[in-house]
Amino acid sequence: MLLSLALAALLPATPTLRCDASDGGTAPREIAALESHASLLADSALVALYESGATFEAFLAGASARREMWLRNWAAAEVPAEVLARAQAVGGRWRLLIVAVDGCSDSVNTVPYLARLSALVPSIELRVVQPGPGKAVMESHRTPDGRAATPTVVVLDERGDEAGCWIERPEALQDMAIKARAEGKIDDFQKGKQGWYDDDAGASTLREVVAVIAAAAAGTPACGSTPARTP
pLDDT in tens, 133-158: 999 999 999 999 999 999 999 999 99
Q: Residue 110: give the domain boundaries.
A: 5-169+202-226
Q: For the domain that residue 76 is a member of, what is the CATH number?
A: 3.40.30.10
- % of the chain residues with pLDDT over 90: 77
Residue 175 lies in a domain: no
pLDDT in tens, 20-40: 754 333 333 333 333 433 343
Residue 104 lies in a domain: yes
Residue 130 lies in a domain: yes
pLDDT of residue 94: 98
Residue 190 lies in a domain: no
Average pLDDT of the chain to the nearest whole number: 85
pTM here is: 0.84
Amino acid occupying residue 178: I
pLDDT in tens, 49-107: 999 999 999 999 999 999 999 999 999 999 999 999 999 999 999 999 999 999 999 99
Residue 53 lies in a domain: yes
Rounded-to-integer distance, Cα 139 and Cα 28, Å = 11
Residue 44 pLDDT grade (very low, low, confident, very high; cuts 50, 70, 90):
confident
Contacts 24+ apart (CB under 8 A), 19-27: 19/101, 19/104, 19/105, 19/106, 19/107, 19/149, 19/150, 19/168, 20/143, 20/147, 20/148, 20/149, 20/150, 20/168, 21/131, 21/138, 21/147, 21/148, 21/149, 22/147, 25/139, 25/148, 26/139
Rounded-to-integer distance, Cα 32 and Cα 174, Å = 27
The tally of domains found in the chain comes to: 1
Residue 180 lies in a domain: no
Residue 196 lies in a domain: no
